[in-house]
Structure 1
Amino acid sequence: MERSLPQGGEARTWLDDALAEAARAPRQARWELHFASAGRHCGPAAATDARVLLLHAAGAGAATLGRLYRQGTAAERAAVLSALHLLPTGGTPQAVPLVEDALRANDTTLIAAAVGPYAAEHLDAHAWRHAVLKCLFTGVPLDAVAGLARRARGDAEVARMLGDFAAERAAAGRPVPPDLHRALDLTGQARARGDRPDPPVPPHAPEQADPPEEF
């Protein structure tokens, strides 16, 4: 995180002061104003990490996180999602509705933030499988999915869903994302194919006669 935070100058001074205020008076609204203005003071590249640190310093609870998420911009919502596993709420499923809301969107930044460590621990199997498919559908790299190898291992249902998705893409003449095959390999199930497998030939099936020669 430190690599994207301001290392000196006015931006660093502003961030240090904002963090101190959030830690000192987490129940006052002023640090939430700092949360909203982090992009202006720290720059867009550092704003997410600055906001995550502010949430951590304030020990933001579920009610505060929900309010900041609902009222925030896409960047502020992504910061809330990125911070969940670092906060007291991270040990509970209270913030799952925020993750589910982000996964209903088509904003790839929100989707990538939603499938982080908090989702790996608290999304149920059905929601997690659809989150993986959502990443593939929207082009979010599966490297963003925390705990992918652990949760995919032995999951025959997600393997089936991945296979169906691959078949649908191939039938529509669209490429199958390479990430799909990697995820399917992690399940330990049969590898996805670009089309449906040929039906098995019954045992002792009679051989077809050669067509008559034409003269």
Structure 2
Amino acid sequence: MLTPREELDAELDEAARTWLDAALGEAAAEATRGGASVHGAPRSEAAAEATRSEAAAAGSPRSGAAADASRAVADPYASPSWELRYSAAGRHCGQRHADAVRSLLLVEARAPLASVTRLYDRGTAAERRAVLLTLHLLDLGDTALPLVEDALRTNDTRLVAAAVGPYAADHLAPHAWRHAVLKCLFTEVPVAAVARLADRARGDAELARMLTDFAAERTAAGRPVPEDLRTALALTDPAGHPAPPTAAPAPTEES
């Protein structure tokens, strides 16, 4: 079975593989230094060459990521150079591989909370999604929950789907997790995206009540009840494996 890196190497062209080698080298070096956010050490020749190449492509004077990379050497409070690589992953390795590349960078750097927060706060939706998808592979405990909570407040289905992954399954409190399941139903994110849904839903009477109320509201409004709601409701049975009901839950008298 191929590792994520081997799968990428099989897909990327030589230029992209060379860029990825340099990017992962910078991330590994940062991890060796302890993952500190201060970057004042000299860059590797590979990093310097990448900066010169990007500057040449952008034209002089340097701009964008190339300028940021140049300033990182002189500014003791600048972000680590691998974080600049994180943002550039789609440009160098293609959008189809960007999530995998960004995840590798986060893991290789053993990204601390400061880095993942910075990358999330400053990132595009795609860059934020990659952070969320990788949180469970990092040693962050529950400290990154604010990022998940932020994503669940959006209506961006890409972020919502990424936010209910393994990290949320491990760390979201029951009340917040139940609302995350409802958020998926509201935004039409398939409940299949919810990691460990069957395990956490089993025997959860409060989740069953919330789902039943939501179904009743939909029915009262003349709107269809999503099949995913029936699936999630069925999983709340203590037995954990009943067949999904074929009809929508009946409205309560209060509805």
Q: Residue in 1 aligned with 2:90? A: 39
Tell me the alpha carbon deviations over residues 33-63 of structure 1, each in whole angstroms, 9 at most, x when there is no partner: 1000111111111111110110000000111
Give the superposition deviation at 1:16: 2.3
Q: Does 1:88 align with 2:139?
A: yes
Q: Residue in 2 aligned with 1:8? A: 12
Which is further off, 79-88 or 25-34? 25-34
Residues in 1 aligned to 2:207 and 2:129: alpha-carbon distance in whole angstroms: 26
Residues in 2 aligned to 1:2 and 1:180: alpha-carbon distance in whole angstroms: 37
Give the superposition deviation at 1:181: 0.6
SS of corresponding position for 1:88: coil
**Mapping for residues 116-195 of structure 1, pairs under 5 Å:** 116-188=165-237, 193-195=248-250
Contact persistence 1:162–1:180 (CA under 8 A): yes
Contact persistence 2:217–2:251 (CA under 8 A): no
Which is further off, 43-52 or 119-128? 43-52
SS of corresponding position for 1:140: coil
Give the superposition deviation at 1:2: 5.9
Give the superposition deviation at 1:198: 7.4
Q: Does 1:67 align with 2:91?
A: no
Q: Does 1:56 align with 2:107?
A: yes
Residues in 2 aligned to 1:154 and 1:119: alpha-carbon distance in whole angstroms: 19
Q: Residue in 2 aligned with 1:207? A: none
- Higher CA-based Rg: 1
Tell me the alpha carbon deviations over residues 82-107 of structure 1, each in whole angstroms, 9 at most, x when there is no partner: 11000111xx1100111000000000
2:170 partner letter? E
Q: Residue in 1 aligned with 2:160? A: 111
Residues in 2 aligned to 1:4 and 1:78: alpha-carbon distance in whole angstroms: 20
Q: Residue in 2 aligned with 1:210? A: none
- Choose which of 196, 201, 204 in structure 1 pairs with 2:251: 196
Residues in 2 aligned to 1:140 and 1:113: alpha-carbon distance in whole angstroms: 10
1:163 partner letter? T
Which is further off, 67-76 or 126-135? 67-76
Superposed CA RMSD: 2.1
SS of corresponding position for 1:54: helix
Contact persistence 2:113–2:143 (CA under 8 A): yes
Residues in 1 aligned to 2:85 and 2:183: alpha-carbon distance in whole angstroms: 32
Contact persistence 2:215–2:251 (CA under 8 A): no
Query: Please, which runs of 5 or more residues in structure 2 have no aligned partner?
Result: 40-79, 239-243
Contact persistence 2:120–2:131 (CA under 8 A): yes
**Mapping for residues 16-27 of structure 1, pairs under 5 Å:** 16-26=21-31, 27=36
Give the superposition deviation at 1:174: 1.4
Segments of 4+ moved more than 6 angstroms: none
Give the superposition deviation at 1:17: 2.0
Give the superposition deviation at 1:173: 1.6
Residues in 2 aligned to 1:186 and 1:2: alpha-carbon distance in whole angstroms: 36
